[in-house]
């Protein structure tokens, strides 16, 4: 099955892979809170927010067609856009996810096809 975000196959033009970010407790160094660098130890404040990275390559037959795909993805990264469900190739889903960033690995490649590598970072924010 293909992956989706908000039910839309944003990354299906090319191969892409999912990777979970760091999970666990959110720790803050005591010295950060007190301002005294010699204070040892840390305190925990809830859990780390969920992060999921999608890395892959967008493919298209032309530069214009690649921009259509790219623009659709980056529109989800606009701060006014709400969250949705992210689903990987195997049905694993993460709810209330937002596209936090989209970054390309380098210049657009033009070989047999027009393509570009990218990393899209999704996150589940406590703030909603």
The residues that touch other proteins, with contacts defined as CB under 8 A, are 14-18, 56-57, 59, 88-90, 109-113, 115, 117
Are the beta carbons of 114 and 108 closer than 8 angstroms?
A: yes
Indicate the SS3 state at residue 27: strand
Of 122, 111, 88, residue with least CA distance to 16 = 88
In angstroms, give the least distance from the CB of 87 to other proteins.
12
In angstroms, give the least distance from the CB of 49 to other proteins.
23
User: In terms of DSSP H, where are the helices of 4-128?
Assistant: 30-34, 63-75
Pick between residue 9 and residue 39 the one whose CB is nearest to other proteins. 9
In angstroms, give the least distance from the CB of 93 to other proteins.
14
């Amino acid at each position: 099955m293909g992956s989706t975000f908000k039910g839309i196959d944003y990354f299906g033009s090319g191969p892409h892979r999912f990777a979970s970010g760091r999970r666990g407790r959110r720790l803050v160094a005591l010295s950060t809170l007190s301002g005294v660098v010699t204070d040892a130890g840390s305190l925990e404040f809830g859990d780390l927010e969920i992060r999921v990275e999608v890395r892959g390559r967008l493919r298209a037959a032309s530069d214009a067609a690649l921009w259509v795909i790219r623009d659709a993805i980056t529109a989800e990264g606009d701060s006014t856009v709400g969250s949705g469900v992210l689903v990987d190739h195997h049905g694993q889903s993460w709810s209330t996810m937002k596209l936090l960033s989209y970054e390309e690995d380098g210049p657009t490649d033009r070989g047999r096809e027009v393509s570009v590598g990218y990393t899209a970072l999704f996150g589940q924010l406590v703030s909603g």
